[in-house]
A = this chain, B = another copy of it.
């Protein structure tokens, strides 16, 4: 299987229906297929040969979508770039991937112009926005207009379809090599959870470079559904998109969901078209789940867990388990159950499988495990051992086969010999009415090695004290897990491009001059 066949099939089974809607631009699947096949011809003429990398650095748009499919159509390998990176990091990704061509929009054109002379491998820059094309760049629309559609390149299922760099929240960013089969099969594995149909409408609002939106986008394409594009997440604009286009499905991170359902205008918009929201990237606090059910009672919520290395989904928590009462309750804190074709196991430090309820490293086998890290054979061998991908996350599987994430292994707090999983502390803190957001980290402690510390953002107009928050936690979780200290932040928590809290940044000031034991 390959990505190009997905587009061919959409043109065959839903050719007359809308494929992409981006502002005034609308294309049917038949038109879209034609545009992708023309753009691929252009990439070939610009020098893209089988296996060559083409980067994309842009906000969400229909043209981003076209590039994602035109690159493999031309035989190339897509490299979607994180939109939150600083210039030196962008340089690193482009140099490391050896991209010949880069596609940018107006937001990122100035950055690339500024650093372009350092990017030796870069031969062409394609400009994806409307209006005047910056000097030295080529217009995406011109490329589509001036080329003739070609047949898709011959790519096998195990050929590389893309390099997807890890967020770099822990250490050096690595290029994850996914194959066509990895991506198509993970879409098949998750299709029963997404439940999209020919007439579904998918909102691309999570950043398109990220694996979370990628799998939602691929599922919508698998269903030959309609794609709507929001250039980036903004709560009210997102609500406008949903009501205007009758959006039925989307993928968001919990931060985005929380901002949406707590927005003062959430009840002013007609969001009733929304059938299913898949969230992932990090767990969602129970209070947010409850709020979603309050304001959008018909919405099915589905949680997914995985990582870029798993294309990306390993487990799904179906909507029926998002309940607080009845026989299916008690699983809202779980990350779900293995999707079909995924073998899930918890392993100890010696790679021995652990039993039910025992905490260890989450490991997986299956057709959605990456080919490896780009030009990093040692890290690949370290991560995939005996066929099992080692996720670096800690967790356990309960007797019903539900995976519970304890924490990123490297985020786990070890205090006085006890393991503290920050999510549990965060869940407790978030239940306090004055807390809008929080992050729990380990900070150095003479006595305990590490000590539990919380950074808290208060809800607008609310006040509380550190003492009250600690006492609130003590009512909910064991004393050793409760924060010893709390700092109240005036600013929002620092987030990665994917909406994950950047705990490294929060930790940094506390750890200057200290060495932290991890793993």
Which residues of A309-332 are within 8 A (CB) of B?
A: 318, 320
Distance of A187 from chain B, by nearest CB (Å): 8
* A54 on the B face (CB < 8 A): no
Which residues of A156-196 are within 8 A (CB) of B?
A: 157, 184-185, 187-189, 191-192, 195-196
Which residues of A18-70 are within 8 A (CB) of B?
A: none
Residues A344 and B12 in contact, CB atoms below 8 Å apart: yes
Which residues of chain B are within 8 angstroms of A110 by Cβ–Cβ distance?
Answer: none
Which residues of chain B are within 8 angstroms of A134 by Cβ–Cβ distance?
Answer: none
User: Smallest CB-CB separation from A397: which chain B residue?
Assistant: B12
* Interface segment, one of A95-103, A335-343, A426-434, A468-476: A335-343
Give Cα distance in the complex from A195 to B157, angstroms: 26
* A81 on the B face (CB < 8 A): no
- Among B6, B14, B318, point to the contact of A340 (Cβ < 8 A): B6
Which residues of A326-376 are within 8 A (CB) of B?
A: 337-338, 340-344, 366-367
Which residues of chain B are within 8 angstroms of A344 by Cβ–Cβ distance?
Answer: 12
Distance of A383 from chain B, by nearest CB (Å): 21
Residues B188 and A189 in contact, CB atoms below 8 Å apart: yes
Residues A5 and B343 in contact, CB atoms below 8 Å apart: yes
* A222 on the B face (CB < 8 A): yes
Residues B188 and A15 in contact, CB atoms below 8 Å apart: no
Residues A1 and B341 in contact, CB atoms below 8 Å apart: yes
Give residues in A with beta carbon < 8 Å to B.
Answer: 1, 5-6, 8-9, 12-16, 157, 184-185, 187-189, 191-192, 195-197, 222-223, 318, 320, 337-338, 340-344, 366-367, 397, 399-402
- Among B12, B16, B343, B399, point to the contact of A338 (Cβ < 8 A): B12
Most buried by B among A9, A192, A340: A340
Residues B399 and A367 in contact, CB atoms below 8 Å apart: no
- Among B1, B222, B342, point to the contact of A367 (Cβ < 8 A): B1
Give Cα distance in the complex from A160 to B198, angstroms: 34
Which residues of chain B are within 8 angstroms of A338 by Cβ–Cβ distance?
Answer: 9, 12-13
Which residues of chain B are within 8 angstroms of A196 by Cβ–Cβ distance?
Answer: 192
Q: Copies of this chain, how many?
A: 2
Residues B191 and A400 in contact, CB atoms below 8 Å apart: no
Residues B195 and A15 in contact, CB atoms below 8 Å apart: no
User: Smallest CB-CB separation from A402: which chain B residue?
Assistant: B13
Give Cα distance in the complex from A338 to B15, angstroms: 13
Indicate whether A341 sits within 8 Å of B397 (C-beta atoms), given known contacts A1-B367, A157-B367, A366-B1.
no
Residues A8 and B343 in contact, CB atoms below 8 Å apart: yes
Give Cα distance in the complex from A195 to B185, angstroms: 18
Residues B13 and A337 in contact, CB atoms below 8 Å apart: yes
Sorted from nearest, which 8 A-B pairs have the closest CB atoms? A13-B401, A12-B401, A188-B188, A13-B337, A191-B192, A1-B341, A222-B340, A1-B367
- Among B188, B337, B342, B401, point to the contact of A341 (Cβ < 8 A): B188
Give Cα distance in the complex from A401 to B188, angstroms: 20
Which residues of chain B are within 8 angstroms of A9 by Cβ–Cβ distance?
Answer: 338, 340, 342-343
Indicate whether A341 sits within 8 Å of B13 (C-beta atoms), given known contacts A1-B366, A191-B192, A192-B191.
no
Residues B14 and A401 in contact, CB atoms below 8 Å apart: yes
Distance of A216 from chain B, by nearest CB (Å): 15
Give Cα distance in the complex from A196 to B192, angstroms: 8
Give Cα distance in the complex from A16 to B356, angstroms: 14
10 residue pairs of the A-B complex, CB under 8 angstroms, read A1-B367, A5-B341, A12-B337, A12-B344, A12-B401, A13-B337, A15-B399, A15-B401, A197-B318, A222-B340
Indicate whether A400 sits within 8 Å of B222 (C-beta atoms), given known contacts A184-B341, A343-B5, A367-B1.
no
User: Smallest CB-CB separation from A14: which chain B residue?
Assistant: B401
User: Smallest CB-CB separation from A315: which chain B residue?
Assistant: B13
Give Cα distance in the complex from A269 to B196, angstroms: 33
Distance of A312 from chain B, by nearest CB (Å): 17
Give Cα distance in the complex from A404 to B63, angstroms: 35
Distance of A7 from chain B, by nearest CB (Å): 12
New contact pairs (12) apart from A13-B401, A14-B400, A16-B399, CB-CB < 8 Å: A9-B343, A12-B338, A12-B401, A13-B400, A14-B401, A157-B367, A187-B340, A188-B341, A191-B191, A191-B192, A191-B340, A192-B192
User: Smallest CB-CB separation from A184: which chain B residue?
Assistant: B341
Distance of A358 from chain B, by nearest CB (Å): 14
Give Cα distance in the complex from A8 to B402, angstroms: 14
User: Smallest CB-CB separation from A223: which chain B residue?
Assistant: B192
Which residues of chain B are within 8 angstroms of A401 by Cβ–Cβ distance?
Answer: 12-15
Most buried by B among A6, A188, A222, A320: A188
Which residues of chain B are within 8 angstroms of A157 by Cβ–Cβ distance?
Answer: 367
Give Cα distance in the complex from A15 to B337, angstroms: 12
Distance of A413 from chain B, by nearest CB (Å): 29
Give Cα distance in the complex from A397 to B9, angstroms: 12
Give Cα distance in the complex from A243 to B483, angstroms: 56
Distance of A16 from chain B, by nearest CB (Å): 7
Which residues of chain B are within 8 angstroms of A15 by Cβ–Cβ distance?
Answer: 399-401
